Structure 1
């Protein structure tokens, strides 16, 4: 098993970051995420907690020989459960791959929360575990290393793409001049 951990500060308030999260895909930095489908949503009227289950369709750019060995194609599926708590100002997303999970499991948890010292910033903590199944025991270390490096790269690219989404959100949120202001 391999472990990835990362933290990042976004220079935006939590309410903006949590709202922009729903517009994260598609973005030009993450063309591998093809579709995001909402499977289920539940809102607790007492707590205001919103739980959303989504299915992400991803096109993996993996060498064909690896896909043949794994018995799959480029299209992969990931299940994500998001929990947003407006009172605690947290957004937690847990995801796991569905495709090829019998060979390789990648579990990720990302949490966005209000910065404890600066309410105009949002902190993000991200962690993932990569585990090769017993069928890959001879190559498990190599497969886990390859997958972890790919995950690290995709996480960095994903953060860049999310920053662009946040910048667009800020522009959209700014008041637009009216005819009277000319």
Structure 2
């Protein structure tokens, strides 16, 4: 099993960051994400907590040799469950791959939380555990896990750049004179 972990601070308020998350895809920086479908969405009437389950379709560039060995397609599916708690100003997202999960499993947890020391910023943490299936020979397990962690790191870096662009666009739209309304 391999572990990936990163943290970052976005210089935007939590309300903007959590709203922007729903507009992250499509994104020119992340062309590998081709579809995001909402499967289920509920709001707890007592707490106001919003829970959303989505299916994400990803077109990964998998090396030809791996495709031939594993007999897989470049189209992959990921299940994501997100929980937005407006009271604690926290957005938590859990995802797991559905495709080829018998060979490789990736559990990812992302948390966006209002920075308690500076409420104009949002703390971001991302963690993923990547485990090769027990059916693989241990030497291949390590190779597959190492490759997957490197690919995950690359996608995370590109995803952060793309998400920052979404944030900048939304921040500019909410502060532009055209976006402001006046009351008479």
Aligned residue in 2 for 1:3: 3
Bigger drift between 3-12 and 129-138 goes to 129-138
Aligned residue in 2 for 1:153: 154
CA positional deviation for 1:160: 0.6
Structure 1 residue matching 2:29: 3-state secondary structure: coil
Structure 1: 4+ residue segments shifted above 4 A: none
- For residues 165 and 16 of structure 1, what CA distance do their matches in structure 2 show? 10
5+ residue gaps in structure 2? none
- For residues 141 and 65 of structure 1, what CA distance do their matches in structure 2 show? 16
The TM-score with structure 1 as length reference comes to 0.95
Aligned residue in 2 for 1:164: 165
5+ residue gaps in structure 1? none
Aligned residues: 179
Structure 2 residue matching 1:25: 3-state secondary structure: coil
CA positional deviation for 1:176: 2.5
Aligned residue in 1 for 2:18: 18
Aligned residue in 2 for 1:54: 54
**1:96 and 2:96 aligned:** yes
- For residues 175 and 144 of structure 1, what CA distance do their matches in structure 2 show? 46
CA positional deviation for 1:70: 1.5
Aligned residue in 2 for 1:81: 81
Deviations 1:116-171 (A, max 9, x none): 10000000011000000012133101100000010011111101100000001111
Cα RMSD for the two superposed structures: 1.3
- For residues 175 and 9 of structure 1, what CA distance do their matches in structure 2 show? 24
Structure 2 residue matching 1:80: 3-state secondary structure: strand
CA positional deviation for 1:63: 1.2
The TM-score with structure 2 as length reference comes to 0.94
